[in-house]
Structure 1
């Protein structure tokens, strides 16, 4: 499989968990090379192709961009896929 670097978007929205965890704060706790989990969300009311990004601590960091989500979602269905946190940038973060 080819490696893809992509942005995490939506990091300034609160999570829907009981504590309404802070995505930006969770990203600050991530180090380059940390594993992240990608989860398809076919029942997402805003985008049936949505792919969420979750930290090793099982806190949502945000989403794959709407432009990349369909392709990455197909890969998640078709083959074993892993992702790593790469770096934070001012507007979000990158994963690979």
Structure 2
């Protein structure tokens, strides 16, 4: 499990038999979590192979992968600010209304369809 802001390693795989420009994505614990998309791997992989200090962090999971933030000049990537409350899910809003100290949880109000 990765948390937002966790470091990510990007390692080119020139010997990859399916795509010589493939770039593997590893968690800070050393587990491979996937590959960069075909649209980005050639460009970012070339930057890494040219010796540029490319750094990346995990931002969020998606249904078919993850969002990572990449900095191409050795700087530390940063996370964007959290989304405004209006974008938060109903469950997140529900959890924000809970008063954990008193044990109070408001009644769940499902979203209208």
The residue correspondences of 1:1-12 to structure 2 (distance < 5 A) are none
Do structure 1's residue 76 and structure 2's residue 48 form an aligned pair?
yes
* TM-score, length basis structure 2: 0.58
The corresponding residue for 1:93 is 66
The corresponding residue for 2:35 is 63
- Structure 2: runs of 5+ lacking an equivalent: 70-113
Cα distance in structure 1, aligned partners of 2:42 and 2:65: 20
- Structure 1: runs of 5+ lacking an equivalent: 1-28
Alignment size in residue pairs:
68
Q: Which runs of 4+ in 1 moved over 4 A?
A: none
The residue correspondences of 1:23-42 to structure 2 (distance < 5 A) are 29-42=1-14
Of structures 1 and 2, the one with the larger relative CO (CA 8 A, separation 6+) is 1
Cα distance in structure 1, aligned partners of 2:12 and 2:42: 10
Tell me which structure has the larger Cα radius of gyration.
2
